[in-house]
Amino acid sequence: MARILVVEDDPGQLEIRKLILEQSGHEIVTAQNAAEALDRLPGCQLVLMDLQLPTPEDGMRLIRAAAGAARIIVLSGGEPETMPAVDAFLTKPCSSRKLLETIARFCLLLVCLSVLHAATVKVSHERSEVVAEFDLRGAPAEWSLATVFVDQRAQQQIILYAGENKFTYNAFLGSLSAGEHSVDVRGPGVEFLGVRFREDSSDVVANAPVLFARANTVAKPSDIPLIVYCERLSENGVGFLQYTVIFSNEDGGTSTRALMARWGRTTDVEYVYRAFPGRATIQAKDHKEVEFRGRRDGMHPLLMPITDNNMIGEADAPTPIRYQIAPILVDLTGHSREEVIDQHPIAYEVMAKELQREGKLRPFGTVDGEKVSDPRNYLYFEMKLAKRESFVATLVHLKGDPRWYSSHLGHTDFAIRTWTRGSAESASGFVRTTVELPPGTTPDQIAEIGFECIVPEKASSDSACRVEAVTKCFFLDRNYKPGSNVWTLSVPQEIAAGQVWTSALR
């Protein structure tokens, strides 16, 4: 592992360069001016610096002082007429790949020394897709970044969102030739505890998308992709694969309160790619489905979120962070999309930590803009609603408490709209919602559960609501795992506009 001093007076550029180099396993020291750089130079084998610090004269002074103590690579918009001897001069803009290749030529303590552990995968079939299950532990700081190297070349990154807890992260390594291949994982503070490989010839893995980090999340991680799942669906009799990503958060678009009320979570769940016979589409800006004509790595489309609500664009100018999350094949015929989160509850934990980190939490029972309560204070519902021109809100009454608690908090916009797929987000009619309850509420304290039918002003006079079923009702435990089922509804209930239907719990 090389110790590299990165000097740049632009904080954003400094953070990006630091991140790129840390991905390759180097120890990074940073400075924003020549004086700081001179103080932090001892022990560094290489200096990567901008010439303007903030003037070329400052840059020249640092070069003269560092000469002989470390290798020097200079980044600049143009080479000056006179310059002291440096090891390399790179003209901006400079690609990450060229930067890393230049470092490799001029620093002897480089990538090969930063390997934490290495494994060998033996591929038996020519050009076989390989899936890896990495057991990793990150640094105490949240969201360490690890880089996966295949045959000594950086291939992809993994954000260790489970922190210092041991966790298994699934990744696809792409199509590898028959024979042996080395696979290693590198990153500051990353522990490589084990790995399992399998060859996978399914179309689900072969078409899985490569996802690059959204540009404004590179320097400050947010909205990270946690899970990729795939469904086999059909449209007009034509089968296709639909790939959906569960992101840890949504920086733009739907408000945090509305997310909890309409979808029962603050993670962002978006389909990103559909693979049809002979064609493919992506979910682009404004939720529009457009033809995909971008670049591929083999059969894998190269995609990147381009909006703060994680709509997708073609990765023509990809960021330096590349994810290859192995997809999970699911059948959601009898469930909402959030069932995948229930099966992988780490997503609830990461969701809560991001809410805390971004200052989106408030005390129970208070109102503070779009902030929400601790996710463990909510009762979660999965239900099936008939397609009607109406809204449905869920209600909860506790024993000894005269109040009713509601999912929509009195706002029609927070109730679940049932008459378009775009709002219910489920062709089968399964949806999620939550009701905030006092901290520590237990199932035996619930007296009644009910549903309110709300219709829009322009709805027909005979509009009504129909709750077909409630398949799940649970709290999250202290570790953010879904608890036991509190209540279900198996007999459909028709509810007239403006009326409330309730059921007492025994």
* Same domain for 183 and 236: no
What CATH number does the domain containing 419 carry?
Answer: 2.60.60.20
Give the DSSP per-residue string, 399-462: TT---EEESSTT-GGGSEE-S-HHHH--TT-EEEEEEE--TT--GGGEEEEEEEEE--TTS-TT
Section 261-267 average pLDDT: 95
- The mean predicted confidence, pLDDT, of the chain is 88
Which among 20, 351, 353, 2 has a CA at the least distance from the CA of 157? 20
pTM above 0.85, yes or no: no
Interhelix angle 11-23/96-106, nearest 10 degrees: 60
Domain count, the chain: 4
Section 127-148 average pLDDT: 86
CB atoms within 10 A of CB 437: 21
349 vs 375: CA distance, rounded Å: 9
**Lowest mean pLDDT segment, chosen from 29-38, 106-115, 139-148, 235-244:** 106-115
DSSP letter at 140 equals: S
Is 372 in a helix, a strand, or coil? Answer: strand
Q: Locate tokens 């237990």: which residue? A: 442
* Same domain for 264 and 161: no
Which among 148, 126, 136, 124 has a CA at the least distance from the CA of 198? 124
Domain boundary among 340, 372, 404: 372
Contacts (Cβ under 8 Å, ≥6 apart) of 154: 23, 24, 100, 147, 148
Each residue's pLDDT tens digit, 169-200: 999 999 999 999 999 998 877 889 999 999 99
* Same domain for 438 and 459: yes
DSSP letter at 376 equals: G
> Do 42 and 31 contact (CB within 8 A), yes or no?
no
Q: For residue 130, what are the domain limits?
A: 117-201
Q: Locate tokens 């954003």: which residue? A: 12
Domain boundary among 173, 201, 229: 201
Section 379-397 average pLDDT: 94
Q: Of 72-86, 311-325, 451-465, 488-502, which has the strongest mean pLDDT?
A: 488-502
Contacts (Cβ under 8 Å, ≥6 apart) of 413: 258
Section 369-392 average pLDDT: 94
* Same domain for 328 and 224: yes
Is 16 in a helix, a strand, or coil? Answer: helix
* Same domain for 123 and 99: no
| % of residues, the chain, pLDDT over 90 | 61
